[in-house]
Amino acid sequence: MKCATDNSASPLWCTPVRGLPGPSIVLRFAALLVLALIFCLPSLSFSQSIADELTPYSVPANMSQVEFYLLTVDVGDQVWDNFGHTALRVIDENTNTDLVFNWGIFDISGGVVGFSFNFFKGIMEYQLATSAPTREFAMYRNQQRSVWQDRINLTNPQKEILYRRLLWNLEPENITYDYQYFFNNCTTRVRDYLDEALGGKIGDFYQGVTEQTFRDQVQSHYASVPIVAFSLDVLMNSNIDRQVSEYEAMYLPLALREQLALIPSDVAIDGRRQMLLSDHQEVMSFPAPTIATNGHEVASLALLAPALFLILMLKKIPMSYFATHSRVGLKLAPISFRLLGLLGLLTALFSGVYGILMLGSWFISDHLDLHHNVNLLLFWPTDILGVIVALRWLVFCKPWPMTHNSAPFITYYLMAHVVAMVGYGAIAYFDWSAQYVMDIAFYIVPGFLLFTVLIWIVGFQPAKPRNMFF
């Protein structure tokens, strides 16, 4: 190609060798502009839809008199507050109002059992409520939870978007929302509304991936409630074993505050650009919940210690004249069988309940994080029937008598359990599953396997030969 140029070094147009006129830079630029507009149409349409949705809601005449504050509440020591809490405080000097917007309200008027069952099914209706800051702070003071307040630096147009969104959210048909612990909670509501007001700036600023998985974060936040941490590790599947993105990580209140503080705002004071959060204030301070003993270690000790003691209590039972093989029993039967019964109750209840919850979730729960769980290899719903057998060990201090009909079933059931445990250990060791199971394989399988073999040996009395009369 031959290129004609002006006095600058860049060609204004290029003409092909054959002399046919080629497209000018202006035309190329126009084409690129058209393509850019086409690619931006979804974004422009989305912004327009937001504007249309929020237009009916009026804002104060002077938005400079409206200030927004991020309220961050530290974790508590209860199951429902172990992740902390986030709220928005809005001070409007135009109307002399000061309100806290709280998206963490739920209704248990139908009873705790009904609420818990709905929670298990995945029906979690939370709602927005407003209250005076004094009332909010009094509640957190009673709970002895630290609270921080940060001013959110927004331009007036950004304030208008956020203000209108809050008014929209206060409409009766918009107050209630479907809660989801990772992706739609009190903190993500604040994050998403701020991101909307900032034109997607938060999402653009945080596009990376953290080094933690959701399972890591769940275990960390429930460190003060070991039974809950252990149970969730059992019940939740591979969905929570992917790495959390930086944007997703802001479902945690403390993470939201920390990451918003690193974003520059569009507000400048005396020519200096401000950060998104400023005027940091610690409203109240209390010690964080104490980290308890690791739940996996407690479960391991509760299984292994009694099982090892009972192994030491094993003894041979003298063969009778009619016996076809020698039997093994327990020394100090009143003590040993009661210990065996207590351990049996513990394992049967936990294994059975875990199994029922994991299997039942496939049929009645919308919690996808409970489906297709590898831990069903270890914890069986039918283990709950072991409570009856364990009660006999505990009360009568004798093995469970087998009949000719029940003996094969019990033998194959225990054999299947042993095979499943060995398979589970192989899955963990060779990393054959996307679900992280190493902790359970390391802490639980050895004791569970030893207990299963133990009750196979001494927990059941063989059926008498058919030619015996007594």
Summarize the confidence of residues 143-163 as an average pLDDT: 96
205 token code pair: 């600023």
CA distances from 292 to 221, 233, 236, 437, 438 (A): 11, 16, 21, 22, 21
pLDDT tens digit string along 419-464?
999 999 999 999 999 999 999 999 999 999 999 999 999 999 886 6
Instruction: Report the pLDDT averaged over residues 326-355.
Output: 93
Does residue 240 sit within a domain? no
Q: What is the pLDDT of residue 337?
A: 95
The pLDDT > 70 percentage for the chain reads 85
- What's the average model confidence in pLDDT over 301-308? 95
CATH code for the domain in which residue 126 is found:
3.90.1720
**pLDDT for position 252:** 96
Is 231 inside a domain boundary? no
* Same domain flag for 310 and 435: yes
* Single residue among 284, 311, 334 that ends a domain in this structure: 284
pLDDT band of 79, cuts 50, 70, 90:
confident
Who wins on pLDDT, 441 or 31?
A: 441
Q: Do 114 and 251 fall into the same domain?
A: yes
Domain span at residue 324 reads 295-461
Half-sphere exposure of 269 (CA within 13 A, CB side): 8
Write out pLDDT tens, residues 39-64: 333 333 445 667 678 878 888 989 99
User: How distant, in Å, are the alpha carbons of 4, 7, 175, 197, 352 from that of 29?
Assistant: 18, 21, 47, 32, 68
Looking at the fold, whether 120 and 267 belong to one and the same domain comes out as yes
pLDDT at 12: 28
Overall domain count for the chain: 3
pLDDT, position 37? 30
pLDDT of residue 267 exceeding 90: yes
Which of 112-126, 273-287, 379-393, 441-455 has the lowest average pLDDT? 112-126
Q: Over the chain, what is the mean pLDDT?
A: 86
Structure tokens at 190: 């604040």
What is the three-class DSSP state of 394?
Answer: helix
Residue 235 belongs to a domain:
no
What are the structure tokens assigned to 35, written together?
């393509």
Question: Which pLDDT does position 108 carry in this prediction?
Answer: 73
Any domain includes 313? yes
Residues 187 and 332 in one domain: no
| pLDDT for residue 28 is more than 70 | no
User: 97 and 44, same structural domain?
Assistant: no
Residue 229 lies in a domain: no
Residue 447 placed within a domain: yes
Scanning 365-405, the segments in alpha helix (DSSP H) are 386-396
pLDDT (mean) for 393-420 = 94
Q: Are residues 347 and 302 in the same domain?
A: yes
Q: Is residue 57 part of a domain?
A: no
Q: Would 322 be classed as within a structural domain?
A: yes
Instruction: Please give the pLDDT value at position 326.
Output: 52
Q: What percent of the chain has pLDDT over 90?
A: 68
